[in-house]
Structure 1
Amino acid sequence: MTRKIDTILFDLDGTLINTIDLIIASFQHTLKVYFPERTYPREEVVSFIGPPLSETFGRLNPGHEEEMIHEYRSFNHANHDRLVTEYEGVQETLDTLKDAGYQMAIVTSKRRDTAFQGIELMKLNAYFPVVISLDEVTRYKPDPQPVDLALEGLGATAEHAIMVGDSQHDILSGKNAGTLTAGVDWTVQGADHLASFEPDVMLTSMRDLPEYLKAFK
């Protein structure tokens, strides 16, 4: 018997909202402050996207994580509304899914206040009664804890859920929690890279998701 899917969990950045230019600019600004002698091209900065800032900056500059995070967030907040844009088809897809009765949550590695800056800018509040951010977890994606907490908040189970995201951390977190997984081919790290982590489906547009889910009614 085909498993029934009634719950959809989404990553935020790079999946529901286009924050890629903002993230890359924030990294490049911060790295310029701390490593002025080096240039970090866009292609290299892309490899930093996914893990929490503490992990990335801890690897790049051990012992200076907190001050680098502060620099990053100051730039990020100041430039947020100027650089964040919407992805085509997201709003209408969320309307379709909500009307169809799916329950939905966001699972992000951002801090809660920063996540809600993007959620409110793109008017996504009404779709997501549960938002799991970095502030709610002790272990972050790819650990299953963020997904588990979102499912718990919705009163849902992994067997009946799918995790949608643009990085391997999203796919692995969903797999580790026992959900189906969907990758998005507009990922900044490249569709082939994300597909190598074997999500159950790769979406070429967010509009593909309702059609895919028809098989799990």
Structure 2
Amino acid sequence: MHTLLKGIRLVVFDLDGTLVDSVPDLAAAVDGALRELGYPAAGEARVRDWVGNGSLKLMERALADALGEPPSDALLARAHEAFLDHYGRDPSSRTRLYPGVREALDGLREREMPLALVTNKPYAFIAPILDSMGLVDYFGLCLGGDSLPEKKPHPAPLWQVAAHFDVAPQACLMVGDSRHDIAAGKAAGFRTAAVPYGYNHGEPISHSRPDGVVESLSELV
């Protein structure tokens, strides 16, 4: 067992960029929405740098790139609705588990460690993706970016999970790939662990000063 897990009674995972590489599906939906509104596709490489703050912010960044300036609220609302429509049709066919994820989840489950998922992705998309990856049964609670009024980096979702499992924050571990995950974990009083391979806007995750970094989640067990 990794030293990061010493004294830990609940592990909370981020989804996109931590457990799964979902950018190919997200990019397809972003590009579909942009084309529907008459703008050129952004492409997967750009979308990879825009992921991390929920779908509304994703489309705001995509439109700002296309327009060269921030979009109006009305245009953003139309684009976001188009994105949700495109993504809802196919949220997982190109999405893949990162190496080591299943081994980590299996190992933690064998230790009877409660697991939860907190993502900024809209809640409606969580189950279809977990189901397609065969991960539905691992998590005792899942929260999306629209499950509460606040989302990461606000600590509220993490506090909600800790309260649900009746575990003190200092006995919880937040595992993520971005500065938003680490900031949320620190603000909530959680221990924090990071992976270096996800979506962090081109910034090394070590700059966020997590309590530990693992190259693969399999290192946790």
- What TM-score, normalized by structure 2, do the two folds share? 0.85
Unaligned stretches of 5+ in structure 2? Answer: 65-70
Asked whether 1:186 is paired with 2:197, we answer yes
Alignment partner for residue 112 of structure 2, among 101, 119, 123? Answer: 101
Among all aligned residue pairs of Structure 1 and Structure 2, give the percentage whose two residues are the same amino acid.
25
Distance in 2 of aligned mates of 1:85 and 1:94: 15
* Deviation of the 1:32 alpha carbon: 3.4
* Deviation of the 1:29 alpha carbon: 2.7
Alignment partner for residue 93 of structure 2, among 60, 73, 82? Answer: 82
Range moving further from structure 2, 82-91 or 112-121 = 82-91
- CA deviations on 1:60-115 (whole Å, 9 max, x unpaired) are 32212332122112221223232112222211211110111211100011122211
Asked whether 1:122 is paired with 2:133, we answer yes
Asked whether 1:113 is paired with 2:124, we answer yes
Partner of 1:40: 42
Partner of 1:27: 30
Partner of 1:92: 103
Q: What code does the residue aligned with 2:52 have? A: G
Q: What code does the residue aligned with 1:52 have? A: G
- CA deviations on 1:21-54 (whole Å, 9 max, x unpaired) are 1122222332333352x55354432232111222
Asked whether 1:140 is paired with 2:151, we answer yes
Partner of 2:54: 52
Partner of 1:149: 160
CA contact (8 A) 1:22 1:83 kept: yes
Distance in 2 of aligned mates of 1:23 and 1:109: 13
Asked whether 1:173 is paired with 2:175, we answer no
CA contact (8 A) 1:180 1:200 kept: yes
SS for the counterpart of 1:196 is helix
- CA deviations on 1:128-158 (whole Å, 9 max, x unpaired) are 1111112321111100011111111111121
C-alpha RMSD over aligned residues:
2.2
Q: What code does the residue aligned with 2:32 have? A: H
Distance in 2 of aligned mates of 1:98 and 1:191: 32
Partner of 1:62: 72
Partner of 1:213: none
Range moving further from structure 2, 15-24 or 74-83 = 74-83
